[in-house]
Chains A and B, each alone.
Chain A
Amino acid sequence: MSKHPHILVVDDEDAIANMIAEALRDEDYTVLTAYDGRQGLELARQHTLDLILTDVMMPYLDGLKMAELLLQEFGAKTPPIIFMSAVDCRNQIQSLGTFLFKPFTLETLLDVVESQLG
């Protein structure tokens, strides 16, 4: 793991994506943001990432579909994925990644991020 882990944040609510990005940057992470699944997929292909934080329900390409495509493309090299949603999606996520309920506290978010990077 590099000194400044690279994290991709994907959420169609740009206010949330930006807020999360800022909080992560405050913790010295390097952050990329995308506002839907297609953008997220594009950025994931272009950059080497240590972690992806993604919303589940998004236009064009939802978080689950994006994760599946990444896994197909990168296999074991796919970075860990944290799915965020206000709806319990644990059944659909299964082994694709971990799940974080919205709304969450920043503290919880940072804890989950840290544990996934560790």
Chain B
Amino acid sequence: MNLVETGRLETLKALSIVATTDPPATFALLADILHTQLHTRTGFWYQDAGGWRAIDPELHKQQRLPAQLPAAISAPAQLVRSALPVLGDCLAMPAEHQQMLTFSPPFDPGELSALWQTTLHALVQAVQRNLASTLLADSIDQGQLLRAVIDELPEGVLVGVAPHGKLIMANRVAEELWGHPFIEVDSVSDYYRYNIFDINGSVRAPEESGIAKAISTGQPVLRQELLIKRPDDTMLPVLANTSPIKAENGAIIGAVVVFQDISEWKRQEHDRDNAIAAIAHDLKNPLTTIRGSAELLLRRARNDSRPERELTRLRTIIEQADRMRDFLGSLVDVARLHSGELPLMRHPLNLAELVERTVTALNSSFSRPRIIMDIQTSTPILADQIWMERVVENLLDNALKYSPVETKVFVSLVEHDTNLRLQIKDQGIGIEPSDIERIFEQFARGSNSGSITSGTGLGLYTVRAVVRAHAGRIYAESAGLNQGSIFTVELPTANAEPA
């Protein structure tokens, strides 16, 4: 008697073969195919001189079954179920998923062998046929599931793979944000096809993209504000966060960028800037009256030879009104600059000279110069001189203000690619990692700035707004509290900018 029985080839969770004669090597061959390629739990029975044997290749062990198995011949299913629970699993499957080949006795050994070989061959072919489709089916299932999950995410997702940054997939939201379907590109240099710009509208070099950087450095690229130019020529602002994808051994296999539409946020920011400008403007009138009245009283008090303490109070009112006036002035300017309403007067500017002049002026107030300069370029930039002075002054002021008086501040200016890189390094109170981005926001002050309370909270906000309006970028680095800070400003050289 020979019995071959297979269960549920479609999914090949288990396959059992029962045979009366044949060397174990034959089973081993099939078992090997099934086990290694399909991870299918397969069991075999065979009969030899010692009686019935079962092999469970997954367990790599043989098990001797009872010698007498009359029931096996008449009712193989029963045999299987009772003999080996592992193989019994396949019989518990619905009948339509089972394939049962039964060879009824009597038969001669030659026929048996031929039948067995044929059956085995057919089975192997069936298995191989199913192998491809099963694998495919499995991967589609997984892929579809993954795809569905990613498509349901409320943010755009784009995946690129190492080493060249080939883009392999994007989700539905990404395509909506781009306004066009996913474009397959093979390398970073083709990223320009996605029409991504910096938030200030300047063209973005493909190698500056989050995916390219995450793949090349292995570090996440966080909180990038970008503009997507859509096919209808509208510009959509997005916030992008990119993370490298690493294999178990740490090798970088790709990067995934997640991005979201921030146009509503930008609109609110714009409204807020306008509101700030309007409020600040409206406060100028009462301020004019307060200051003017105090000045008027001071003149009268002087003429009337009033006591000095009265004059001092009046002077204080005037001084404080002036502080308010300056504050409101910068608030209005910054809000306008930020919302793009204040046109910059950009002319070729020798940044080196500007830095030298500012440093010399600041150093003159110390008995020993606190600021050390290292200026290596005199390449001009296209900049509004007045605004650029504020940037340099502000960064230097901060470095001096937030570091002990006995420490030095280091300023360097170098040319790097098509940019000038201005770096201001102090040995001061440093910045908490959680504050690194926040310090550039309006009215923000580092959580460790403590008792240092002079300043409007507009300094770095202004600096960033000005730098961005000049198509540049600024970032802060600090090893942490009391580890000093480094502020880096990158501005395109005059030559690098489109005329």
B residues 287-346 touching A (CB-CB < 8 Å)? 287-289, 291-293, 295-296, 299-300, 321, 325
In the complex, what's the smallest C-beta–C-beta distance from B314 to chain A, in angstroms?
Answer: 12
Task: Mark the stretch among A61-69, A71-79, A97-105 that contacts chain B.
Answer: A97-105
B296 x A13 contact (CB < 8 A): no
Q: How far is the CA of A16 from the CA of B296 in the complex (A)?
A: 12
Tell me whether A87 and B281 are in contact in the complex, defined as CB-CB below 8 angstroms, given that A22-B296, A103-B325 are known contacts.
Answer: yes
Q: Is the CB of B295 within 8 A of A16?
A: no
Which chain A residues border B296 with CB–CB below 8 Å?
19, 22-23, 26, 106
Contact with A along B272-292 (1 / 0, CB 8 A): 000000000100111111011
Inter-subunit contact A19/B289 (CB<8 Å): yes
A86 and B289 alpha carbons, distance in the complex (Å)? 13
A16-B285 contact, Cβ under 8 Å, with A23-B292, A106-B292: yes
- Interface residue A107 (Cβ < 8 Å from any Cβ of B): yes
Residues of B near A104 (CB, < 8 A) are 288, 292
A1 CB-CB contact with B under 8 Å: no
Residue in A16, A22, A87, A107 whose CB lies within 8 Å of B288: A16
Query: Which chain A residues border B300 with CB–CB below 8 Å?
Result: 26
Q: Shortest distance in angstroms between B92's beta carbon and chain A's nearest beta carbon? A: 85
Which A residues are in CB contact (< 8 Å) with B285? Answer: 13, 15-16, 86, 102
Q: Are A106 and B289 in contact, with the CB atoms below 8 A?
A: no
B contacts with A: majority SS = helix
A34 at the interface (CB under 8 A from B): no
Closest to B329 in A: A103
- Decide: B299 and A103 in contact? CB cutoff 8 A: no
Q: How far is the CA of A37 from the CA of B184 in the complex (A)?
A: 66
Minimal beta-carbon separation of A8 from chain B (angstroms): 18
- Chain B residue numbers with a CB within 8 Å of A22 are 296
Q: Is the CB of A86 within 8 A of B284?
A: yes
User: Chain B: interface residue count, which band?
Assistant: 10 to 19
Taking CB atoms, residues of chain B closer than 8 Å to A19 are 288-289, 292-293, 296
Interface of chain A residues 14 through 46 with chain B (CB within 8 A): 15-16, 19-20, 22-23, 26
Contact residues in A for B299 (Cβ distance below 8 Å)? 23, 26, 106
**A19–B285 alpha-carbon span in the complex (Å):** 12
Interchain CA distance A55-B285 in the complex, whole Å = 11
**A23–B281 CA distance with the chains assembled, in angstroms:** 24
- Assess whether A13 is in contact with B281, with CB atoms less than 8 Å apart: no
When distances are taken between beta carbons in the complex, the residues of chain B under 8 Å from A87 are 281
Q: Are B286 and A15 in contact (CB under 8 A)?
A: yes
Residues of B within 8 A of A105 (CB): 291-292, 295
Most buried by B among A15, A20, A87, A107: A15
Contact indicator B281/A16 (Cβ below 8 Å): no
Q: Tell me, rounded to whole Å, the shortest Cβ–Cβ distance linking B333 to chain A.
A: 12
Chain A residues whose CB sits within 8 angstroms of the CB of B293 once the complex forms: 19
A60 to chain B, nearest CB (A): 18
A26-B300, A106-B299 known; A20+B281 contact, CB < 8 A: no
How many Å lie between the Cα of A107 and that of B295 in the bound state?
8
The closest CB in chain A to the CB of B288 belongs to A103
Smallest Cβ distance from B36 to chain A, in angstroms? 81
Q: Mark A89-118, 1 if CB is under 8 A from B, else 0.
A: 000000000000011111101000000000
B212 to chain A, nearest CB (A): 45
In the bound complex, residues from chain B placing their C-beta under 8 Å from that of A13 are 285, 289
Give the residue among A13, A15, A16, A86 with the most B Cβ atoms within 10 A. A86
> Residues of B contacting A107 with CB < 8 Å?
295
| B422 CB to nearest chain A CB (Å) | 30
Minimal Cβ-Cβ distance residue in A for B294: A106
CB distance from B106 to the nearest CB of A (A): 112
**Alpha-carbon gap, A98 to B347, bound state (A):** 29
Contacts of B325 in A (CB 8 A): 103
CB-CB contacts below 8 Å: B252-290 with A: 281, 284-289
Nearest-neighbor residue (CB-CB) of A109 within chain B = B292
| Whole-angstrom distance between the Cβ of B296 and the nearest chain A Cβ | 5
Q: For residue A115, give the distance in angstroms from its CB to the closest CB of chain B.
A: 19
Contact between chains at A102 and B284 (CB < 8 Å) = yes
State how many angstroms separate the Cβ of A57 from the closest Cβ of chain B.
Answer: 10
Q: 20 additional contacts, CB 8 Å, given A16-B289, A104-B292?
A: A13-B285, A15-B286, A15-B289, A16-B285, A16-B288, A16-B292, A19-B296, A23-B295, A23-B299, A86-B284, A86-B285, A87-B281, A103-B284, A103-B291, A103-B292, A103-B325, A104-B288, A106-B291, A106-B292, A106-B296
Residue contacts A-B, CB under 8 angstroms, 25 given: A15-B285, A15-B286, A15-B289, A16-B285, A16-B289, A19-B289, A19-B292, A19-B296, A20-B292, A23-B292, A86-B285, A87-B281, A102-B284, A102-B288, A103-B292, A103-B321, A103-B325, A104-B288, A105-B291, A105-B292, A106-B292, A106-B296, A106-B299, A107-B295, A109-B292
Residues of B within 8 A of A (CB): 281, 284-289, 291-293, 295-296, 299-300, 321, 325
